[in-house]
Chain A
Amino acid sequence: MAIPSSGVKKVVLVGQSNVGKSAVFAQLTSRYVTVSNYPGTTVDIFRGRTTVSGQAYEILDTPGINGLVAHSEDERTTLEILRTGKPDLVIQVADGKNLRRTLLLTAQLAQLQLPLVLDLNMRDECEQKGIRVNRRALSERLGVPVVETVATTGEGFQEVRQHLSSGARCCPNGAPAVEWVEGILREVGHRDAAVTSWLTLRTTLFTTAVLIGALLHLENYFGAYLGWPTLYGVLKRLLASMGGEAGPAGLWAPAGALVGAFLVPVLLPFLWAVRADPVFNERFGIWARKSLAGSLILVVALSLIYQLVGHLGAQVFVAALEETLFGKYLIPALRNSIPAGFTYDLLVGQYGLISVGITYGIAIVLPVVSTFFVAFSFLEDSGYLPRLSILSDRLFRAMGLNGKALLPMVLGLGCVTMATMTTRILNSRKERLIATLLLALGVPCSAQLGVMMGIVAGISPQAAALVFGTVFFQLILVGFVMSRLFPGRRSDFILEIPPIRCPLWSNILKKTYCRVKWFLKEALPLFVLGTLVLFALDTLNLLDTLVAALQPVVTGLLELPRQTATVFLLGFLRRDYGAAGLFDMARHGALDATQIVVSLTVMALFVPCVANFFVMVKEQRLRNALAMFGFITCYSISVGALLNLVLRALGVRL
């Protein structure tokens, strides 16, 4: 973006992680930035503009800092801006609930001698907890304006705007930071008696409802094995008998049963409890970080996502779009109206831009990505992810990382490219290297994950377990080996755990919308480009040569049908494109169960996409990125070959 001219004033938002800087940024400017409930959402500088009474301001959103000493790459970026960016005003955004921590940072910011405004955010939560701060006294003591805001609703921003031009220099009167802070706290900090957090009757009722929902949910798996009538099965039959099969491709019965069996009994009580009962919220936050209760919650959460994305998104929605809309109406109509010849082949032929590129992008990947992003944004905003960091810390330590690495890993399920940038929150170079490699190797991104879920959901739970289990095991294995090969040591695990918050639908929808839009902008052109390349190769009769060259690997080593080679070629461009190709083949019965499992595993282990490769180069330099690329390609094929060998030798039926 342009360097601010002298007329534009530069305002930098700084503060600890997860205090709401990005939410404040969104209130002040009209630019979209990601707001999520975990520390480390923002890892780079974002700039936006606003005008107050004729004066233009450039607002900068920054990664969170804990002090003026950087422990990781993202903190360094913020400190760089503070030290060399010459801001006209610094707004310290803070969590009003943690006045001591806030002032500790204020004391350090004061050393920089920059005009400062202190924004005590999360005022709603302070009120709920009975925490009150004497704002006037604090402002007098600090010598800078102090405002209170609720960044999620916009409360208090009138005042923030007024103060954009009135920040004052803050002086910590020469005393050491700690004494200064304690002194101020004695004067202005005031806290009412803590709100009781006893397990009340209401919370008990909510808890029971959620527990019953979770049990019902698990019953769907175990019941199916034991031959019991599962809720899902009963609902589906009921809906079908009510004429549900008459809907387009018989979709409404399974869709309705999914909603009835999973969303209504599990999600609704949970959402209601989280929304209506702060005590339940707190309780849930505690359970989610305990070993046993936390593991159970994880199982239910994973299976809910699997149901939502694998069944609702990848089967119901895809069937509606791909089979019905594209397969029955759009493509046949186009085929009928375009005369045979070059245009026909280019648009709707075997490697047609519309019949392959657009179909894969819009009819297969888009519905999957959209449902996945809804579930994923929900996870992000709930504050659940940092609790998973606690549960998985020991596992990550075996891989030379620590629990904090869970954040980039899980974000990788959204988009590996973005997540590779989030590795900046890790404290050591070694950790960043390992995390980058593991992300590229074995973390499937949303589009691919959803398509994979859709394929295996069509076979059996064992197949699902086998594919995801193999990929997961590879991650651990490679991480374990790498952590011993690479020099350096891992850093110590310390992470703040945000409270469980009820996600705002508006934020989830906004995030999903932005991500889907970004997917369309990013991926669709590549899908079309990839198809174009295939088409050109096919027209020039080079495709057969290429496929023949790949033959030993594809049909020999992996025992897959010949045409899988073209799918793998697509997979090099974007893994999810390749996965969509496999999905297409699987639906048309071109692959048996073992072949599906093998090809999916190989595809899952490939390098995600061209964009990811460029980010790897940017974050880890070309040499490392190339080495990783080579390693991953060979490794994924070897694993696939081995898996195929084992499955065939043991005669495993899936």
Chain B
Amino acid sequence: MTLPQWALFSRLRERPLPGSPLPLTALPQGATARVVRITGGYELLVYGFGIYPGVEVQLRQKYPSYVLKCEETEIALEADLAKQIWVEPMG
């Protein structure tokens, strides 16, 4: 009766190769990634939420808004903002 967590979050979609920066929007739901850089003048805004280069985030939802998990906080953000956050997928 018990299902592992990943089975609920993602349906085994193809994961991007580790090592190449992607906008957050290109990440599959459920994936974990490390933030590489932030563009579009949003550095300060997302910095306040604890998101900066080097931090590990998990993408938990893509619709109706993007939801990131960073430490123990869940942060909702819209696509325009999410695509300015560049990440490197992790294993």
Partner of B71, one of A67, A100, A182, A386: A100
Q: Contacts A71-B45, A198-B3, A199-B3: A494 and B67 contacting too (C-beta < 8 A)? A: no
Question: Are B76 and A98 in contact, with the CB atoms below 8 A?
Answer: no
Q: Separation in Å of the B91 CB from the closest CB of chain A?
A: 17
Question: Are B61 and A101 in contact, with the CB atoms below 8 A?
Answer: no
Q: Separation in Å of the B34 CB from the closest CB of chain A?
A: 13
Q: Does B48 contact A (CB under 8 A)?
A: yes
Question: Are B3 and A393 in contact, with the CB atoms below 8 A?
Answer: no
Query: In this complex, what residue of A is CB-closest to B69?
Result: A497
With A98-B73, A493-B78, A499-B74 known, 14 other A-B pairs at CB within 8 A are A69-B48, A71-B48, A98-B72, A99-B71, A100-B71, A101-B50, A198-B2, A289-B76, A390-B64, A391-B64, A403-B76, A494-B78, A496-B76, A497-B75
Q: Separation in Å of the A160 CB from the closest CB of chain B?
A: 22
Chain B 44-86, CB-CB to A under 8 Å as 1, else 0, gives 1111111010110000110111010011111111101100000
Question: Are B44 and A403 in contact, with the CB atoms below 8 A?
Answer: no
Question: Are B75 and A199 in contact, with the CB atoms below 8 A?
Answer: no
Chain A 272-293, CB-CB to B under 8 Å as 1, else 0, gives 0000000000000110011100
Cα distance, A69 to B55, chains bound together (Å):
21
Return chain A residues, CB-CB under 8 Å to B70: 101
Partner of A493, one of B3, B5, B63, B76: B76
Cα distance, A641 to B63, chains bound together (Å):
40
Q: Does A131 contact B (CB under 8 A)?
A: yes
Q: Does B1 contact A (CB under 8 A)?
A: yes
Question: Are A494 and B61 in contact, with the CB atoms below 8 A?
Answer: no
Chain B 1-29, CB-CB to A under 8 Å as 1, else 0, gives 11111001000000000000000000000
A residues near B, CB below 8 A? Answer: 66-67, 69, 71, 95, 97-101, 104, 129, 131, 178, 182, 197-201, 204, 285-286, 289-291, 386, 389-391, 393-394, 397, 402-403, 492-497, 499
Question: Are B48 and A492 in contact, with the CB atoms below 8 A?
Answer: no
Q: Separation in Å of the B11 CB from the closest CB of chain A?
A: 15
Cα distance, A95 to B74, chains bound together (Å):
13
Return chain A residues, CB-CB under 8 Å to B2: 198-201
Return chain A residues, CB-CB under 8 Å to B72: 95, 97-98, 129, 131
Return chain A residues, CB-CB under 8 Å to B49: 66, 101, 494, 496
Query: In this complex, what residue of B is CB-closest to A197?
Result: B5
Query: In this complex, what residue of B is CB-closest to A67?
Result: B48
Partner of B75, one of A198, A286, A495: A495
Return chain A residues, CB-CB under 8 Å to B52: 178
Q: Separation in Å of the B26 CB from the closest CB of chain A?
A: 19
Q: Separation in Å of the A258 CB from the closest CB of chain B?
A: 33
Q: Separation in Å of the A203 CB from the closest CB of chain B?
A: 10
Q: Separation in Å of the A188 CB from the closest CB of chain B?
A: 14
Cα distance, A71 to B44, chains bound together (Å):
10
Q: Contacts A198-B4, A390-B67: A492 and B81 contacting too (C-beta < 8 A)? A: yes
Cα distance, A289 to B42, chains bound together (Å):
24
Q: Separation in Å of the B82 CB from the closest CB of chain A?
A: 9
Question: Are A101 and B45 in contact, with the CB atoms below 8 A?
Answer: no
Question: Are B64 and A494 in contact, with the CB atoms below 8 A?
Answer: no
Question: Are A69 and B44 in contact, with the CB atoms below 8 A?
Answer: yes
Q: Can you list 8 pairs linking A and B with CB atoms under 8 Å apart?
A: A71-B45, A199-B8, A286-B61, A290-B61, A391-B64, A393-B78, A492-B45, A495-B76
Query: In this complex, what residue of B is CB-closest to A394?
Result: B64
Question: Are B5 and A492 in contact, with the CB atoms below 8 A?
Answer: no
Question: Are B48 and A66 in contact, with the CB atoms below 8 A?
Answer: yes
Q: Separation in Å of the B32 CB from the closest CB of chain A?
A: 13
Question: Are B44 and A393 in contact, with the CB atoms below 8 A?
Answer: no
Question: Are A497 and B76 in contact, with the CB atoms below 8 A?
Answer: yes
**A-B complex: 6 closest residue pairs judged by Cβ atoms:** A66-B48, A101-B50, A97-B72, A493-B78, A497-B74, A98-B71
Partner of B74, one of A69, A198, A201, A496: A496
Return chain B residues, CB-CB under 8 Å to A493: 65, 76-78, 81
Partner of B47, one of A67, A129, A131, A200: A67
Cα distance, A346 to B2, chains bound together (Å):
71
Q: Pick from B1, B46, B60 the residue with the most CB of A within 10 Å.
A: B1
Return chain A residues, CB-CB under 8 Å to B46: 494
Cα distance, A223 to B15, chains bound together (Å):
46
Question: Are B61 and A201 in contact, with the CB atoms below 8 A?
Answer: no
Question: Are B71 and A393 in contact, with the CB atoms below 8 A?
Answer: no
Question: Are B76 and A494 in contact, with the CB atoms below 8 A?
Answer: yes
Q: Contacts A390-B76, A494-B75: A67 and B81 contacting too (C-beta < 8 A)? A: no
Question: Are A402 and B48 in contact, with the CB atoms below 8 A?
Answer: no
Return chain A residues, CB-CB under 8 Å to B78: 393, 397, 402-403, 492-494
Question: Are B63 and A100 in contact, with the CB atoms below 8 A?
Answer: no
Question: Are B61 and A496 in contact, with the CB atoms below 8 A?
Answer: no
Partner of B63, one of A200, A291, A386: A291
Q: Pick from A97, A100, A386 the residue with the most CB of B within 10 Å.
A: A100
Question: Are A496 and B73 in contact, with the CB atoms below 8 A?
Answer: yes
Q: Contacts A198-B2, A198-B4, A494-B45: A389 and B76 contacting too (C-beta < 8 A)? A: yes
Cα distance, A471 to B22, chains bound together (Å):
43
Q: Separation in Å of the A135 CB from the closest CB of chain B?
A: 18
Q: Contacts A66-B49, A67-B44, A394-B64: A496 and B75 contacting too (C-beta < 8 A)? A: yes
Cα distance, A95 to B49, chains bound together (Å):
13
Question: Are A204 and B1 in contact, with the CB atoms below 8 A?
Answer: yes
Q: Separation in Å of the B30 CB from the closest CB of chain A?
A: 12
Q: Separation in Å of the A214 CB from the closest CB of chain B?
A: 20
Query: In this complex, what residue of B is CB-closest to A182?
Result: B54
Question: Are A393 and B65 in contact, with the CB atoms below 8 A?
Answer: yes
Return chain A residues, CB-CB under 8 Å to B5: 197-198
Return chain B residues, CB-CB under 8 Å to A389: 76
Cα distance, A200 to B71, chains bound together (Å):
24
Return chain B residues, CB-CB under 8 Å to A386: 76
Cα distance, A386 to B65, chains bound together (Å):
12
Q: Separation in Å of the B69 CB from the closest CB of chain A?
A: 10
Cα distance, A394 to B80, chains bound together (Å):
12
Query: In this complex, what residue of A is CB-closest to B48?
Result: A66
Return chain A residues, CB-CB under 8 Å to B73: 95, 97-98, 101, 496-497
